[in-house]
Amino acid sequence: MKEQAPEAKIKTLDISGVPIDSIAFTLDHIPNDRSRGVCFKQLSCYLNATQEFVNKGCDVVIVSRFKQKWRILILDLKSDKPKLGKTEAQLKNSKAFVAYILSLLNTHYPDYAVPDPRFELVIVTTRTRKKSVYKPNEARLEQGPFRVVNPTRYQGGQASVHFGKLIGV
């Protein structure tokens, strides 16, 4: 996956070990042609476009069957200092939107149903822990409703991580 934001430290994230029959897509699409970008300013025409967090999507969603169980990976790239409230809202909003799409799929296309998916909310960050300095938000970051993962390899904007590490196995 590629991150387009100029301030992003991770420009490219390679995810290895993704099961072959997985489906990946983004909820954070910004078209290059701004004149045609009107349809992508919000996740759904049913949602209020003026509500910032309601329409905030994550960088990548991977729908996969891993060891006979459906996993939905909701992932966002963050740099050194993720803003916890905004990150949590962004991931939860993406989860709710994907759950809505899956409910439509399960209702109208039962042959393609995704029964009992397990959602994995993850941020991949370049942040490193420093034990010598007290950081009151550090415990909250580690115990939040999402998993924090550092890339296995990170150099010059290029990073890599294994799918199993992202879903916690």
pLDDT reported for residue 90: 86
Local confidence pLDDT in tens for the 169 residues of the chain? 888 778 888 888 999 999 998 999 888 765 555 555 455 555 566 666 666 666 677 889 999 998 889 999 999 988 777 777 888 888 998 999 899 999 999 999 999 889 999 999 999 988 765 554 545 555 444 556 888 898 888 888 899 999 999 998 8
pLDDT reported for residue 155: 87
Q: Name the strand (E) or helix (H) holding 120.
A: strand 118-125
Number of domains in the chain: 1
Determine the Cα–Cα distance for residues 128 and 71; give it in Å rounded to an integer: 27
pLDDT reported for residue 7: 80
pLDDT reported for residue 53: 63
Give a yes or no: residue 141 inside a domain: yes
Q: Supply the DSSP symbol for 27.
A: S
Report CA 23 to chain centroid distance, whole Å. Answer: 14
Give a yes or no: residue 2 inside a domain: no
pLDDT reported for residue 135: 53
Give a yes or no: residue 56 inside a domain: yes
pLDDT reported for residue 169: 84
| 77, 13 Cβ separation under 8 angstroms | yes
Give a yes or no: residue 6 inside a domain: no
pLDDT reported for residue 85: 80
Give a yes or no: residue 89 inside a domain: yes
**Residue 156 lies in domain:** 12-167
Give a yes or no: residue 142 inside a domain: yes
Residue 148 in tokens: 């924090």
Give a yes or no: residue 1 inside a domain: no
Determine the Cα–Cα distance for residues 90 and 68; give it in Å rounded to an integer: 28
Give a yes or no: residue 4 inside a domain: no
